[in-house]
Amino acid sequence: MGTQPAFDAMAVAFAHIAADTFPRSCVFQRLPTQDEDQIDDRGFPIAEYTDIDPDNPIPCIFIVQGGREVLIQNQQRSVTPYKVTVPALYISIDSLGMENLQPIPWGAGNRIKILADETNQELILQIYSGGDDPGPDFTFTGFLTDTAV
């Protein structure tokens, strides 16, 4: 963790609070990296996203924001942005059953998969902006992948 003990303690506390109180869970997704196989057995590029640490879902909370009109591939479309909040650190359990705090695995081009629960379906959001304000949490704006660029 960083060099600011008070900030680090706040991030750790928030990770535990989020794990106990946030109503949904999510997993971040990414495209294959350069050191991974990027073509399938037939020689076609792999364009599928891979879940990052799927065994340790990240607690999240999200709200639907007002719809917007945007240009996507030169066509005006109505999209619904989602505002997603996750803790800056999440609780990961290693192979020995030990709890570890990990930084949120997000980056440009990543997606957020909000996992289904007893009453809600799974949502996959393309990250559009956010996540760059330092604090005990990260807030992102995302769009459903069927409306993303």
Q: What is the mean pLDDT of residues 97-126?
A: 89
Between residues 67 and 103, which one has the greater pLDDT?
A: 103
- Binned at pLDDT 50, 70 and 90, residue 67 comes out as confident
Q: Which fold has domain 5-144?
A: Thrombin, subunit H (2.40.10)
Q: Quote the mean pLDDT of the chain.
A: 83
| 34 within 8 A of 52, measured Cβ to Cβ | no
Q: Give which of 115, 109, 100, 112 is closest to 138, Cα–Cα.
A: 112
The per-residue pLDDT for 149 is 45
Q: Is the pLDDT of residue 103 over 70?
A: yes
The per-residue pLDDT for 126 is 87
The per-residue pLDDT for 39 is 63
The per-residue pLDDT for 21 is 95
* Alpha carbon distance 131, 109 (integer Å): 13
63-77, 91-105, 120-134 — most confident range: 91-105
Q: How many CB atoms lie within 10 A of CB 29?
A: 22
Q: What is the mean pLDDT of residues 121-142?
A: 84
Q: What is the mean pLDDT of residues 104-132?
A: 86
* Alpha carbon distance 135, 133 (integer Å): 6
Q: What is the pTM of this model?
A: 0.79
Domain spans of the chain, in order of start: 5-144
φ and ψ at residue 74, rounded to 5 degrees: 65, 20
